[in-house]
Chain A
Amino acid sequence: MTRPIERRRQQRVGRCTGTRREFLWEIGAGFGGVALTALLDRDGFFNRPAVAAELAAQANPLAPKPPHFPTRAKHCIFIFMYGGPSQVDTWDYKPELQKRHGQTARIEIRRHKFVEGTLLGSPYKFRRCGESGLWCSEKFPYIAQHMDEICVIKSLYTDSFAHGSAMIQMNTGRLIQGAPSLGSWITYGLGSESDNLPGFVVMVDPRGGPISGAANWSSGFMPAAYQGTHLREKGEPILNLSPRDGTTRDMQRHMIDVLHELNEAHLASRPGYSELRARIASYELAFQLQMSAPEVMDITSEDRRTLEMYGVLEPKPSYHKLALGPAPLGKQLLIARRLIERGVRFVQIYSGGGHQQENWDAHNGIKENLDIHAPEIDKPIHALLTDLRQRGLLDETLVIWGGEFGRQPVAQGPGRDHNPKGFCYCMAGGGVKGGFSYGETDELGHEAVVNPRHIRDLHATILHLMGLDHNKLTYFYGGLHQKLTGVVPASVIHEVIA
C-alpha cells in the first residue's frame, strides 16, 4: 500500500544518479517546496476521490501539472489597475454620454441609493483603431496601435461599490477576506515551470501597495506555498535573499555545505522521513535563488531599443507631482516578461498604489487622474505586447488589465464615483480573440446591459484560457469543495476565445 511517490523517494535515498535538478524534483522541492503528506492520511482520503487530487498536489505543491485540457496560454500577466479605472474614458466609448453632458440622470450611486446626477462626458476624444475598428481613447495612443490584438469585455459587473471588498472579490472571487487569490488558484492548478523562482509573483506600485495589502495575493485557506511572492525592483528582490552582515557568497556556500553534511548525517539515522531530505534540498534552492532572483531583475542585459520601448529610460515627468511616467511600470513589465520566460506562471502588477489620485480612484478629477496614470501604462503595455509578439511568447501568455470596478457616468465634482454595475477589462494574447469587443453597457456606460457578465465569469474565462475548468479546479476546505468562482454557477465567456 505504499504510495507511489513515497516508494520512489525511498528507493532514491542514498543514490546519486541524475542531475542535481532532477534530484530536487524527484523529492519534490520546487521553490514552493514540499507540503508534507503528514498533513493528512492520503490513503484514507483516496476514499474520497474528489479530495485525492488536492492531496496529491500537496506532495509537491508547485510541481508542474497538466492543464485540464489542451490550451495555448501557459503564463498570465495581470496588470491590476487599482482604484477602479473609468470605462467611459478608456475603451467603452459612449457617444450618448458625450451628447448629454451636463444633463441629469437618475443613477444608483451606492447600493440601493439613487441620486439625480449630472452627466459628465469624457474629456477625451475616441477613435476607431485598426482593422477591427475597436474604440480607444486618445489618452492611450500606444495601446491604440494594438486594438486588433486586444479583446475588450465591456459588460462586466461585480458585487461591491467599496474598494475594500471589491478588491478582495476581484482577486479571490469573494467579498469576504480569506479565500485564495486568482494567482494562487492558477499555481495550485498548474504548478510552476520554474524551480528556482516563485510560481506566483507580485509587484506593487512605487507610491504604495493597494489597500488591504498582502491580503490581495493571499493563498487564503491553501498552504502558503501558493501565496504571491512580493518581488521588489529596488534593493533585495526577495525578502532575506542575502545576508546583511557582510557574509560573502563563498562563506554562505560553505555554511550551506556544512549544514548539508550535518543534516545528511542526521537523516542517515532517521530513514523514512522524506521531508527531512526536502529540507536539505530547500537550502540548495535558496542558494540558487540568490543568483536567479537578482538575475531576473537585472535588466541591464536588455538592449537599449527594448529599454526605450518599455519607457524604462524616461524621466519622471514634471507636469504633476504624483505622475511617474512610464518608467516604473515599464520596468516591471519588462521584468514580468523575463519572469515568464523563466517559467513563472502568474505575475500580478499593481498600477497605482496608496490612495485616491495616487491610483485610478478618480473622485477628485477624471482628467487629472488619467493625465497621471494613462501614460504610466500606455507605453509599457504597448511594449509588452510588442515584445511578447516578437519573441513568439504572446500566444502562450495571457495579458490582462483592468481594475476592481468601473466609474460612474455622472460627475462627482470634476471626478467620478465608483461603479460596479458596468465596467471593462482588456485581454490580449494567450488564445484571446483579438480586435473583438464583447458585451455592452447602457448608452451612458453605467450598467452592463448586453451580455452582462459577473466577474466570476471573467475568472472562469481566465482559468479556461489557462487550461483549467473552473468547476473541476476545487480545493477541499471547511467541508466544501471550494472553487474560485464560488457556489453561484459561473460560465466561460467562450465568445472571447479565438
Chain B
Amino acid sequence: MSDLRTLLRVAVGLAVLAYTICPLRAGGEADEHAAVMFFEQHIRPLLVERCVKCHGPKEQKAGLRLDLRAYAMAGSKSGPVIVPGKPEESLLIQAVRYRGPKMPPDGKLPDAKISLLEKWIRMGAPWPDDGSRLSERPGARDGRAHDAIVSAREHWAFRPVSRPRVPDVFGGRVYGPVDSFILNRLKGAGLKPAPEADRRTLIRRLYFDLLGLPPSYELVQEVLTDPRPDAVDRLVDRLLASPHYGERWGRHWLDLVRFAQTNGYERDAEKPEAWRYRDYVIRSFNEDKPYDRFVIEQLAGDELPDASPETIIATGFYRLGVWDDEPDDKLVALAEEFDDIVRTTSETFLGLTLGCARCHEHKFDPFPQEDYYSFLAFFSNIAPYGRDTSYTHWAANPDAIFVPLVSSEEFRRWRQRQEQLRAQLDAVTRSINELRNRVRTELVEERRAELTPEERALLERSAEQLGEVEEARRRRLEAKLRVDDKAVQAELKKRYPDRFKELDEERKKLEAELKRLPFDRALAVREREQDPEPTYVFRRGNPRSKGNRVEPRGPQVFGGEVLTAQPLVAETVSEYRRILLELGVPASSGRRLALARWIASPSNPLTARVIANRVWQFHFGKGIVRTPGDFGMAGLPPTHPELLDWLATRLVDSGWSLKRLHREIVLSATYRQSSSHYDPVAATRDPDNSLWWRFEARRLEAEVIRDAILAVAGTLNTKMGGRGFFPTLGPEVLATQSRPGAGWGKSSPAEEARRSVYIYVKRTLGVPFLELFDFPKPERPVAQRAITTIAPQALTLLNSRFVETQAREFARFLLDDRQYCNGSPDRLDFGPLVVRAYRRALQREPEAHELTVLCRFLATQHDRWRQVLEASSGDGRVSEFEVDMRVAADLAKVLFNLNEFVYLE
C-alpha cells in the first residue's frame, strides 16, 4: 500500500516536473537560472525554517513532505498543495494566508514572504530536481531516514545511464552526434556556434591537446597542403597512435591518483618503484586499454585470474598516498592510510566524496557512516605500508609493498639455479662437517694421548667393575675427553684457517644467493596472509571506538548488496600468480576484485559518466559536469545531461575505448570551433560558455609549457620511462629543506631535457617551474587543476635558468641556418631570423607589425648587448657570434613569453 503511494507520488512528481521544466526551457538557460536562483534565495530557506520541521523526513503531518521536490509536488492527504503557475489554486498559499488550515501554526508568515511564495508558484514553482532534500543544505541538518536513501536514487547521477536519442538538428555544421546535442541546445537558446578554427590553429590545438607538444612547422605545412577531405581525421589517428599521447593523457590520470614518488613528512623517503606505476599508466593509455580493464587492474590486478606483472604494477595505485613513518599514534595512522584509499578510490573512479562519511553521515549525499566502513571493508585485508621498527617509528615493509616481477622463463631459470645452489650448499656443508669431524677426532685423540696409562685403562673398564669412587673419576675423565662444538669451531679456525675460510665464505655466498630474489619488483598491493578480520564502524571515526560490524558492499543508495569476494581458483590462476604464491606472495581475499567488477560494470551509473566527463573536461577545459570530482548532491548537475549519457553509452558500447571517445569528440564541429570568435549576444546570454558557442582558449598546463619550450628549442629528449629525472634546483630552493639537497638527485643535461611527466615527484620539494604554473599538490586526488596568473610566472619565463638555457639553445638553432662561421663579418639579418623563429615556435609567418616591432627590438638589443659584453670583457673585445647569440636568445625569450605561446587556442 505504502509502496503504491510512493510510486504514485513519484509519478505525479515527475509529471509536474515535465510541466514545470518546459516553460522554463523556452525562456532559455538564463531564465531557468534566474528562476532557480529565486528558489534558492527566497523559497528554500523559507521552507526549511518554517515548514520542514513538521513536513519533513522526521514527521509528515497530513502526509506532506516539503524537503524534496518529488514529495512536495505529490502533495498531502488532501491532494496537491502546489499547483505550478496557479497560486490561487494552491493549497499552500491558502494555508499560509490562514484561509483554511492555518500554516505555519506558530505564527503567520509576513506578507512579503507570502508574496514571494505566490510569485514562486506563479513562476511555475521552479525547484531544481537534484533529488536532494532541503535538510541537506548547510545549516539545516537533521536525521536521515532510510527513505531518504531511497529517494536519493532519483538524483541524476545515481539513476542508470540512459540511451538518449540523438536530437534531429537541421542546418548548421553537424559532423557527429556530439554536435547534434550541442547545436540543439545552442539553437534553443537562440545562439549560433562559432565558425571553424583555421586549420593551423586546429592542428596546434590537436597537438597540444592530444600530445602536449607543439607540431613542427613542416608538419603543419604538410597537413595544410593535404588535399584529402579526411586530412584532419588522418592527423587525429596519427596523434592517437603516438607514444606521446600516453604521456599527455597519462599525466591527467596521475593527478587523479595523487601520484608521487615519496612519502611526505620529515624524512620524505622514496617510494621505490613508484615510477613503474607511472609508466604503466602511460602504456595503458597508449595501448588504448579498455577503461573497465584499466580500473580493474588498478584495484585488483593481483586478484585477476590472468594476473601478470603489468596488472601487479597497476596496483601500485594503493601505495601512492602520503605516509608518515613516525606517526603520533599508529592505530590512528593506520586508519588514515585506509582512509586515503577509500577517498581516492571513491573520488577517482566514482566521482563520490565518500570520505566525508568517515566520522558521521555524509552532509549532502545519502551515505550513512556504515557506507564508508562497508566500502573500506573491501580493502581492510591489505597489508599496511609499514612495519614496526620501534615504538615510535615504522619502516616501509618490503613484504607488504613489493611484489616480484618475473617471467616464467626467469622463474624456471631461477629455480634451476636454486637447485644448483642447494646442491652446492649441501656439498660445502658436508665438507665443513667433514673438516669439523676431523678436528673433533684429532682433539679427542690428543687429549686421550695426554692421559696416563692407568686412566686409559680405567676408561676401558666396564661400569659393573667399578666402585663408586672410580665411577666418579671415570665420569670426570670422560668429560675431559668430550669436545664441545665451540672448541671444535675454535680449533677448526686455528688448524685449517685457509680451508675453513674458503668453505665458510662459499657457504655464506650460497646462502645469500639462495635468499635473494634476483627479480625486478613492483610497488604493489599485497594482502595479509590470514583471512580478513571483520570490519567495524568507528564511532566518530575513532579507531578505538568500534561500532557495528559491516560487510564489504557498495553504498546503499546503489542497492548496497554485499559483493561476494572473488578469490582465486587454483585451476584458473595464471602461471605468474602461481609463481608468486611460490615466492611467498599470499593469495588474497578476492574482495577488491568484487569491488572492481562492480565499479567497472556497464550498469554502474557513475563509472562511465565520470570518465566520459573527465575526457570531455580535458579536451575542453571544463566538464559537462563542472564538479568532476563530485557527482553527488553538492556537485553541479550536468550542463548537457543527454550528451553526457550519450558519451558514456558510446564509451561502453565501444568496449570502453578512450581513443574512440577522443575521436568522437575532437572530430566534432563543436571541438573544431574557433576560440577567438566573439559573439556579444552569446557573451551576454552565456558568459561562461556553458553551451559551447565557441571553443574556450585556456592556459596550457605547467608540463606542456615546459615541454613546448624544450621542443621549440630543439633540445627535447623523448626518452620514455624509468625512475625519472631531477631538474637542477638552485640553492635558494634547496634552502627550504632541513637538510638542503636531501633526497634530490642530479641528472645529466640530456636527462633534464626529458618530458615533464618524468620529473621526479617529491612531496616536500616541488619544482618551482611546475608549482608556479599550478602543478597540483600530490597529496589528494585533483580532478581539476587551478589556473592562476601570477607575477612569479612571468619572472620564471623571463629569468629562470631553465628558460635562459633553452633560449640559448633556440638561438643556436636560429643562427645555425645562416651557416654562421666565426669571424665572418656579415651582419645578422633580423627579418629572416624573426620569420624562422615564428615558424619554429608558432608554426606561422610573423605578421607585418610583428616583424616591425621585433626587428626594431632586436636592433636595439644588438647595440646594448654589444655594450654590455664589451663592458664585461677584459679587453673590450667581444665575439660577434656571442652578440648575435644574445640577440637571438632575446628573440627566443619573447616568443616563449607570448600569450600565444602559453595558450591553447
Q: Does B13 count as interface, using CB distance less than 8 angstroms?
A: no
A269 to B905, CA, bound (A): 12
Is the C-beta of A34 less than 8 angstroms from some C-beta in chain B? yes
Q: Does B735 contact A (CB under 8 A)?
A: yes
Distance in Å from the Cβ of B35 to the closest Cβ of chain A?
11
Complex contact B899–A263 (CB within 8 A): yes
**Cross-chain contact B697 with A36 (CB below 8 angstroms):** no
Q: Tell me if A41 and B868 are in contact (CB < 8 A).
A: no
Q: Are A177 and B322 in contact (CB under 8 A)?
A: yes
The 0/1 profile, CB within 8 Å of B marked 1, for residues 37-68 of chain A is 11111111111111000000010010000000
Given the known A-B contacts A36-B699, A47-B128, A165-B324, are A41 and B676 also in contact in the complex, defined by CB atoms under 8 Å? no
Chain A residues with Cβ below 8 Å from B353 are: 478-480
B804 in the interface, Cβ–Cβ < 8 Å?
yes
Contact B899 A267 (CB under 8 A): yes
A100 nearest CB across to chain B (Å): 26
Q: What is the CA–CA distance of A18 and B328 in the complex, to the nearest angstrom?
A: 56
Contact residues in A for B336 (Cβ distance below 8 Å): 175-176
Closest A residue to B802 by beta carbon equals: A240
B268 and chain A: residue at smallest CB distance: A212
Q: Which chain A residues (335-363) contact chain B, with CB distance < 8 Å? A: 353-355
B33 touches A240 (CB 8 A): no
CB-CB contacts below 8 Å: B790-807 with A: 790-796, 798-801, 804
Judged by a CB distance under 8 angstroms, whether B787 is at the interface is yes
Q: Is A29 in the interface zone, CB < 8 Å from B?
A: yes
Q: Cβ of B730 < 8 Å from any Cβ of A? A: yes
Cα distance, A176 to B324, chains bound together (Å) = 8
Query: B778's closest neighbor in chain A, by CB?
Result: A178
Residue ID in chain A nearest B685 by CB atoms: A1
Q: Is B903 located at the chain interface by the 8 A CB criterion?
A: yes
Q: A480 and B363: CB pair below 8 A? A: yes
| Shortest distance between the CB of A196 and any CB in chain B (Å) | 8
Give chain B nearest CB distance to A492 CB in angstroms: 20
**Quick one: closest B residue to A214, CB to CB?**
B736
Please report which residues of chain B, range 305-352, place their CB below 8 angstroms from some CB of chain A when the two chains form the complex: 322, 324-329, 332, 336, 343, 347, 352
Contact (Cβ within 8 A) A240 B688: no
A252 to B34 CA separation, bound complex (whole angstroms): 49
Which of A41, A273, A275 is in CB contact (< 8 Å) with B626? A41
CB contacts (< 8 Å) of B791 on chain A: these are: 29, 31, 33, 282-283, 285-286, 289
* Shortest Cβ distance from residue A61 to the other chain B in the assembled complex, whole angstroms: 7
Cβ 8 A contact of B899, one of A213, A280, A353: A280
* Residues A209 and B738 in contact in the complex (CB < 8 Å), given A176-B336, A244-B801: yes
| Contact yes or no, A61 B322, CB < 8 A | no
User: Do B894 and A259 touch across chains, with their CB atoms under 8 A apart?
Assistant: yes
Question: When chains A and B are docked, how far (Å) is the Cα of A219 from the Cα of B771?
Answer: 11
Task: Indicate if the CB atoms of B894 and A213 lie closer than 8 Å.
Answer: no
Q: Is A72 an interface residue (CB 8 A)?
A: no
Does B759 have its Cβ within 8 Å of any Cβ on chain A? no
Inter-chain contact A286/B794, CB cutoff 8 Å: yes
A221's nearest neighbour on chain B, judged by CB, is B780
Kindly list chain A residues whose C-beta atoms are within 8 Å of the C-beta of B678: 270-272
Contacts of B34 in A (CB 8 A): 1
Contact of B804 among A220, A243, A269, A476 (CB under 8 A): A243
Q: Are B898 and A263 in contact (CB under 8 A)?
A: yes
Q: Chain B residues with Cβ under 8 A from A236's Cβ?
A: 732
Interface residues of B in 362-395 (CB under 8 A from A): 362-365, 391-392
Whether A224 and B795, one on each chain, are in contact in the complex, defined by CB atoms closer than 8 angstroms, is no
Whether A161 contacts B636 by the Cβ 8 Å rule is no
Q: Is A262 an interface residue (CB 8 A)?
A: yes
Contacts A36-B787, A255-B894 given; does A215 touch B764 at CB 8 Å: yes
Q: How far is the CA of A60 from the CA of B391 in the complex (A)?
A: 48
Q: Are B739 and A258 in contact (CB under 8 A)?
A: no
The contact of B794 among A36, A270, A285, by CB within 8 Å, is A285
What residues on B are CB-neighbors of A247 within 8 Å?
Answer: 868, 890
**B784 — which chain A residues lie within 8 A by C-beta?**
39-40
Interface segment, one of B421-429, B523-531, B857-865: B857-865
Is A232 close to B, CB under 8 A? yes
User: Separation in Å of the B414 CB from the closest CB of chain A?
Assistant: 40
| A478 near B355: Cβ-Cβ < 8 Å | yes
Contact of B857 with A208 in the complex, beta carbons under 8 Å: no
Q: Are A47 and B37 in contact (CB under 8 A)?
A: yes
Is B738 within 8 A of A215, CB to CB? Answer: no
Known: A224-B771, A263-B899. A208 touches B739 (CB 8 A): yes
Asked whether any CB of chain B lies closer than 8 Å to the CB of A21, the reply is no
Q: Chain A, 230-259, contact with B by CB distance < 8 Å: what is the 0/1 string? A: 101001101111111111101110111011
Query: Which residues of chain A (270-300) have a CB below 8 Å from chain B?
Result: 270-273, 275-276, 278-280, 282-283, 285-286, 289
Given contacts A230-B735, A479-B630, 8 further A-B contacts (CB under 8 A): A38-B698, A40-B622, A44-B33, A44-B688, A46-B37, A58-B786, A209-B738, A254-B857
- By Cβ-Cβ distance, the 3 closest A-B pairs, closest first, are A479-B353, A178-B779, A33-B790
Residues in chain A within 8 A of chain B (CB atoms): 1-3, 6, 10, 29, 31-50, 58, 61, 110-113, 159-166, 168, 175-178, 204, 208-215, 218-221, 223-225, 227, 229-230, 232, 235-236, 238-248, 250-252, 254-256, 258-259, 261-263, 265-267, 269-273, 275-276, 278-280, 282-283, 285-286, 289, 353-355, 420, 476, 478-481, 487
Residues of B near any A CB (own CB < 8 A): 30, 33-34, 36-37, 40, 128, 138, 264-268, 322, 324-329, 332, 336, 343, 347, 352-353, 355-356, 359, 362-365, 391-392, 621-622, 626-627, 629-630, 632, 634-636, 639, 675-676, 678, 683-688, 690, 696-699, 730, 732-733, 735-740, 763-766, 768, 771-772, 774, 777, 779-780, 784, 786-796, 798-801, 804, 849-850, 853-854, 857, 860-861, 864-865, 868-869, 872, 886, 889-890, 893-894, 897-900, 902-903
14 pairs, A vs B, C-beta closer than 8 Å:
A42-B688, A45-B636, A113-B391, A162-B328, A177-B324, A178-B777, A211-B266, A215-B763, A240-B799, A245-B886, A251-B865, A265-B850, A266-B898, A270-B697
